[in-house]
Structure 1
Amino acid sequence: MKKISTLLLSLGLLVFSSCEDDLDQVPISSGSVPTFYKTADDFTQALTAVYSSLRYSTAGGYPDRLYNLAETRSDNLYAVADIAGVREWEPINNFATTLASNSYIAEAWNTNYASIFRANTFLDQLATNGTTVDDATRARYEAEAKFLRAFFYFDLVRYFGKVPILDKPLGADEAAKVSRSPVADVYQLIMADLQTAISGLPVSYTGSGNVFRATSGAAKTLLALVHMTRSGPTYGIEGPGLAVNEYAQAAKLLNEVIASGRYSMLPSYTNIFSYTNENNAEVIFDVQYVSGGQNLGATYPGQIVSDDLFTALRIPFSSGSPDARFASNNLVNSYPTGDVRKAATFTLNYTNITGFNETRPTITKYLNPSLRGVSRFDWPINFIVMRYTDVLMMRAECILHGAGGTQADVDNIVNQVRARAGISGTLTGVTMAQLMEERRREFAGEGLRWHDLVREGMALTTINAWITQDDVKRRMNTIVPNYVIYPVPLTELTTVPNLYEQNPGY
């Protein structure tokens, strides 16, 4: 198993922790520029710490955030708690209007801005003190840091719409004067950073110690998704969609990733997520984890699973609670006969410790009890952020929006995905609705569904129809355009009054 070394991850965590007082900065907070950048090794450690931002936060890291704010928001999970009002994720699932004080939403804002500050500080020090690093490495380090900064800003735009632009490290007084910028302006920074990343990043790296680093393929894939997201509808709000029709630009980048020959679809769907087959040909960019009780393990595999299921799997990490974010019946029932992805993605039922048979399905795509760590929050499995099948299916999406390609190309991509899943027969004349349903089944549990619906203008109609069908507890609100994005966290509104305005509807 190729895995970033525990030593290197520990190094990143050490830098992350020791510099946290200097580097932690949300737009409104204290912050100062650190002075530890003196040697080439200092820069290597500091850049590793920026990558570590993807793994570590108060709520578990980037994969956990996808579960909390994207998967839970979608029709993939029916995240209505057994007892109303006791779970932080339930109001997110229910489209509540009182989310400004929700800790998951605050985590998304705070962690992304702390990460941006780390990237900004690194870039600032690289420009002023970077002569200790050789020219080629310095150019690559700049490209890596800008890829990460773009990644963090894109995450913010998709969740909050307008956000403050900070492209250099600022102190508290300066940050307290920076208001939210229009979405179009934030995208300009994202796209400029990704262009630098594309030109400065290698196609691949040598050595297992570099397996976590971003490549030009990752930067192209992310920029393609940015173009597609910008091209989505506006919903009449200041959200991630600008209706700019950049599908041709996205398709060009996706075609380059495909033509590179660096990636391929694995023959087996389950092998994509195997604990013993990480960093495989399907992976374009992932978040790396190592278990063993060193605070380097993943928390996301156990994030939406009930204690009862852990007990049923003979995993002694539970307190006996049956509460969980169960998969929606609508999702589970959408899989055709013979689809191997269904068994690979869900535990459909289990018997709990009292002998009760739980029939609500659970997404267990990333659980391997035999290779667990020391707790339910210590798993060794990497989280795949971008994979090759997604590139192919995004290309099909662009073609259906008028980018270069044919209907036969779209059909071929979808039929490749279905054939690997074990589905007999082929489709012709695949529509956007069919493509989105195939994406839903292929990427269930990977945090893509909500963003897919928003990008394609399907969020309102799809979610409201699903609520009518699946909300048996009748706690979910009808989704309206304002709920496509989240509120600005209350702490940001109150620290410097009148600096930020709240998003409408909250």
Structure 2
Amino acid sequence: MKKIFLLIFVASFLVACEDDLDLAPISQVGSNGFFTNAGDFTQAVNGIYASLGVTGNMDYPSLYVILDESRSDNIYCPGQSGVRDWNATNNFLATIATLATVETAWNVAFNGIMRANTVLDQLQANGGAIGDATLATQFEAEAKFLRAFFYFDLVKWYGKVPLFETFVTPDEALQIPRAEVADVYNLIISDLDFAISNLPDVQTGANRGRASALAAKGILARVYLTRSGPQLHPDGPCLASNEYDKAALLLDDIIGSNQYAMLDDFGAIFDYDNEGNAEIVWDMQFIGGSVGAGGYYPTEYYDEGWARINLPFPGGNPGDGSKRISEDLINDYEAGDLRFDETFLVDYVDENGVTVDAQFFNKFMDVSKAGGDRFNWSLNYPVLRYTDVLLLRAECTLQGAPGSQTEVDAAVNAVRQRAGLGDVSNVTLDMLLDERRREFAGENLRWDDLVRTGKVVDVMNSFIASDDDDNKMQTVTSDFVIYPIPQKQLDVKLGLYQQNPGY
């Protein structure tokens, strides 16, 4: 029988990738002799988090860099030779079903889901072995939070995907077709509701980095906002469901908790010595110094030439494949915006004393904190920031949820004031999206913002007309709202899945 690449479930969970969490590897998960005590379940739950760590030559945030940021108008990377994955996603090629990153994203997310399902199945079968009903419920809530998180990404990337609520064998998976997007959302929402009801509002101390109720509310708010967007693609992530009021209530809960706050200094949010600051609602945890523990995603941004003279190890984007910040984004910043220098490196002096025109994201870089190699950056990856919560709440109001224009303007002006800019009034949705673009540049939110608000086709085609100097980008249609199903998935069992239109 052909191998089924869909279910790459590693029997030994990966080594630690969480700050403050003991993620020792475990073997023969689910076999006799495991899941017999609380420690076994702790390691298994930690193994779900480990799915966010380095796999091959990338980590989970690297997927966002290539599939989201490089696809948006924030980066222009057509590539001289065009052979790298981010060149293909940037150029909107229709022939990317065999692209390594498209395949890896599918495999890694479903691997995380299978790990979560294994824990959930074993909790049902052997949960009593934990000896603490409260702890067992916490494990269930964390597993469901992470399963929902992975499925939400899958829906945004591929649209319809197979729905697995328990661990299944490869033979069983061959009988399960792609589920409707609405059905996948039902599981996502159910899982996040359970997490909200059964996790503490925040996690502190040794549990920092684990799922929390407020983090679950933030992710669920994004789910409702995304479902509410205009349905550009019949199988895309937006269903025109008009649930902005539901998202607003969740975001109000986060704001009203008083657990988070905007920092006065924008750069301090990404300071290696200031992790877990008041701005961070939830982040992916990375520690440097050991194989499998650090992160790779900062390496995705910088140029190889810069690395040769600034870092003690090779890595970065080669000259023919640089992820260059688009001129459109550079020009979107107002004079005096304090975020600019914290976000970009626009040039550097090479080993010959020549100034090199670079233009890459510098937001997550600190040369003094470089690990032993390019896979061991120690900075946690911010998934949800408090500033994002505030601006998403303003978006809800502009989309018809309860709220006032005064509140929308106040949220945007708080962000602008920190950036050293003057106030604006009568903020529109386009103005809000522009502010989000500047605030979250390099944080891989721009593509989702454009899809969620239904502006992606018009914005990207306008960008291509103005910025595609190499004439390599294809005209964007609604087909490109999602990616193709990986070709290997189609080949496993002919007819089980149908390819997404346009690919």
TM-score range, shorter chain: over 0.9
Match of 1:501 in 2: 498
In structure 2, what residue type is equivalent to 1:67?
Answer: V
Corresponding position of 2:201:
203
**Cα distance in structure 2, aligned partners of 1:128 and 1:314:** 50
1:284-309 Cα distance to aligned partner (Å, 9 max, x none): 11111111133211100011211101
2-side partners of 1:204 and 1:234: how far apart? 34
Aligned pairs for 1:427-442 within 5 A: 427-442=424-439
- AA aligned to 2:96 is L
Q: Is the 8 A contact 2:201 2:213 kept in 1?
A: yes
Match of 1:219 among 216, 220, 224: 216
For residue 353 of structure 1, report the CA deviation from its aligned partner.
3.1
Distance 1:108 1:320, change over 3 A: closer
Bigger mean CA offset, 242-251 vs 360-369: 360-369
Q: Is 1:476 aligned to residue 477 of structure 2? A: no
Match of residue 130 from structure 1: 127
Q: 1:13 and 1:326 mapped to 2: Cα distance? A: 38
Query: How big is each residue's C-alpha offset from its partner over 1:149-191, in whole Å with a ceiling of 9 and x where there is no partner?
Result: 0000000000000000000001111110000011000000000
Q: Percent identity?
A: 43
- 1:173 equivalenced with 2:156 (yes/no): no
Q: 2:454 aligns with which of 454, 457, 463?
A: 457
CA distance in 1, matches of 2:152, 2:356: 38
Residue 334 (structure 2) aligns with: 336
The 1-side partners of 2:250 and 2:112 are apart by 26
CA shift for structure 1 position 10: 7.9
Measure the CA separation in 1 of the matches of 2:128 and 2:472.
59
* Residue 378 of structure 1: how far off its partner (Å): 1.4
**Bigger Cα displacement from structure 2, 240-249 vs 367-376:** 367-376
2:250 and 2:472 mapped to 1: Cα distance? 42
Write out aligned runs for 1:276-425 (5 A).
276-318=273-315, 321-322=318-319, 323-423=321-421, 425=422
Deviations 1:114-170 (A, max 9, x none): 110000000000111011220111111111110000000000000000000000001
1:107 aligned onto 2:118: no
Structure-2 change in CA distance of 1:477 and 1:346 (3 Å): same
**Mean Cα deviation higher: 54-63 or 448-457:** 54-63
Residues 311 and 320 in structure 1, CA contact (< 8 A), matched pair in contact too: no
Mapped to 2, the partners of 1:282 and 1:456 lie a distance apart of: 25
Deviation at 1:376, TM superposition (A): 2.1
**Compared with structure 1, are the counterparts of its residues 67 and 33 closer, same or farther at alpha carbon in structure 2 (3 Å cutoff)?**
farther
Letter in 2 for 1:172: P
Partner SS state of residue 234, structure 2 = coil
2:54–2:375 Cα contact (<8 Å) kept: no
Kept after mapping to 1: 8 A contact 2:261/2:386: yes
Q: Is the 8 A contact 1:46 1:122 kept in 2?
A: yes
**2:113 pairs with 93, 113, 116, which one?**
116
Match of 2:238 in 1: 241
Q: How does 1:62-211 map to 2 (within 5 A)?
A: 62-81=60-79, 83-133=80-130, 134-207=132-205, 209-211=206-208
Per-residue Cα deviation, 1:38-73 (whole angstroms, up to 9, x for no partner): 111000010011011112323422211110100010
| Native 8 Å contact 2:19 2:208 kept in 1 | no
The answer on whether the counterparts of 1:312 and 1:350 sit within 8 Å (CA) in structure 2 is no
Q: Distance in 1 between matches of 2:475 and 2:288?
A: 41
CA drift of 1:311 comes to: 2.3
Over residues 210-240 of structure 1, what are the superposed CA-to-partner deviations in whole Å (9 max), with x where a residue is unaligned? 1011110000001110000000111142100
Normalising by the residue count of structure 2, what TM-score does the alignment of the two structures yield?
A: 0.93
SS of 1:12's equivalent in the other structure is: coil
CA distance in 2, matches of 1:35, 1:178: 30
Report how far residue 319 of structure 1 moved: 8.9
**SS of the residue aligned with 1:349?**
strand
Which stretches of structure 1, 4 residues or more, deviate above 4 A after TM superposition? 5-11, 32-35
8 Å CA contact 1:10, 1:296 repeated in 2: no
- Distance 1:35-1:107 versus aligned 2 partners, 3 A rule: farther
User: How far did residue 358 of structure 1 move?
Assistant: 2.2
Say if 2:23 is the partner of 1:12: yes
SS in 1 for 2:282: strand
Aligned letter for 1:403?
A: A
The 2-side partners of 1:433 and 1:189 are apart by 32
Amino acid at match of 1:429: N
CA distance 1:6–1:411, change in 2 (3 Å): closer
CA 112–126 in structure 1, closer or farther in 2 if over 3 Å, else same: same
Greater shift, 230-239 or 353-362, is seen at 353-362
> What secondary structure, in the 3-state scheme, does the structure 2 residue paired with 1:114 have?
helix
The separation in 1 between residues aligned to 2:101 and 2:345, in whole angstroms, is 26
Q: Which region of structure 1 is more displaced relative to structure 2, 285-294 or 218-227?
A: 285-294
Tell me, which stretches of 5 or more residues in structure 2 are unaligned?
Answer: 1-15
Aligned counterparts of 2:441 and 2:98: Cα–Cα separation in 1: 28
Q: Which amino acid aligns with 2:265?
A: S
Q: What is the SS of the residue equivalent to 1:472?
A: coil
CA-based RMSD: 1.7
- Asked if 1 retains the 8 angstrom alpha-carbon contact of 2:302 and 2:317, the reply is no
1:377, distance to aligned residue in structure 2 (A): 2.3
| Cα distance change on mapping 1:219 and 1:10 into 2, 3 Å | closer
Of 52-61 and 466-475, deviating more is 52-61
Taking structure 1 as reference, are residues 255 and 41 closer, same or farther at Cα in structure 2, changes over 3 Å only? same
Whether the aligned pair in 2 keeps the contact of 1:117 and 1:169 (CA below 8 Å) is yes
- The 3-state SS of whatever aligns with 1:342 is helix
Structure 1 counterpart of 2:54, from 49, 56, 68: 56
Task: Provide structure 1 residue ranges, at least 5 long, that are not aligned to the other structure.
Answer: 23-31
The one-letter amino acid paired with 2:75 is L
1:466 and 1:7 map into 2 onto residues whose CA distance is 38
Query: In structure 2, do the counterparts of structure 1 residues 496 and 275 end up closer, same or farther at CA, with 3 Å as the change threshold?
Result: same
Shift of the 33–160 alpha-carbon distance from structure 1 to 2, 3 Å rule, reads: farther
Change (3 A) 1:7 1:111: closer
CA 1:7–1:48: 2 relative to 1, 3 Å: closer
What is the CA–CA distance in structure 1 between the aligned matches of 2:412 and 2:475, rounded to whole Å? 32
Q: 1:471 to 1:166 in 2, by over 3 A?
A: same
Q: Which amino acid aligns with 1:313?
A: N
Amino acid at match of 1:269: F
Residue in 2 that maps onto 1:254: 251
Is this contact kept in 1: 2:217–2:251, CA < 8 A? yes
Count of residue correspondences: 486
2:133 maps to a residue whose letter is D
Which residue of structure 2 aligns with residue 29 of structure 1?
none
Q: Shift of the alpha carbon at 1:316?
A: 3.9
